[in-house]
């Protein structure tokens, strides 16, 4: 990892907050839900976004998606990070939008809905790990708790 790359860790306290409502630019044909289809189709979609992430998607993964008819437009893993200091922690991870669906608000709306699922499931904290697009998540109300690079914590 180059030393000039900086990544962020963000949280939203679901005990007190909900992700911000945004006016989505989503296409009317977009729907949202947990992925229940053929795992190879999901892996093809993930490969379009980041081939290194394919290994994290399998039959064991809980994946929330945005769909355009039968096509996956965006995806994220709904992770359960366990309980720490009596706080139930989860979060959307490996968030990706298929290139032709980008810049339409689909991914942001998907993460908002995924975060609301965690809130409904009584998670206390939603955590975004290892991202370089912190301002994108901040639109939903996530707050940066630290930044790091190859040398360690920088903020």
Name the residue ranges covered by the structural domains of the chain: 7-15+22-153
Nearest to 77 by CA among 102, 40, 121, 110: 110
The CATH fold of domain 7-15+22-153 = Aminopeptidase (3.40.630)
**Residues near 146 by Cβ (< 8 Å), separated by ≥ 6?**
8, 9, 153, 155
pTM (2 d.p.): 0.94
Cα–Cα distance between 50 and 40 in angstroms, integer? 15
Residue 64: pLDDT band (50, 70, 90) is very high
Residue 24: pLDDT band (50, 70, 90) is low
- In tens, the pLDDT along 37-48 reads 999 999 999 999
């Amino acid at each position: 990892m180059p030393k000039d790359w900086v990544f962020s860790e963000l949280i939203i306290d679901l005990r007190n907050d909900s992700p911000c409502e945004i006016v989505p630019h989503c296409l009317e044909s977009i729907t949202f839900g947990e992925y229940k289809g053929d795992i190879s189709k999901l892996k093809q979609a993930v490969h379009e976004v980041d081939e290194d992430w394919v290994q994290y998607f399998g039959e064991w993964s809980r994946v929330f998606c945005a769909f355009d008819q039968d096509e996956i437009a965006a995806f994220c893993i709904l992770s359960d990070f366990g309980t720490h200091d009596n706080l139930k922690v989860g979060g959307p991870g490996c968030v990706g939008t298929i290139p032709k669906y980008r810049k339409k608000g689909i991914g942001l709306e998907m993460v908002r809905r995924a975060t609301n699922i965690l809130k409904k499931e009584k998670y206390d904290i939603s955590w975004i790990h290892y991202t370089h697009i912190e301002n994108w998540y901040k639109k939903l109300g996530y707050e940066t708790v630290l930044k790091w690079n190859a040398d360690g914590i920088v903020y």
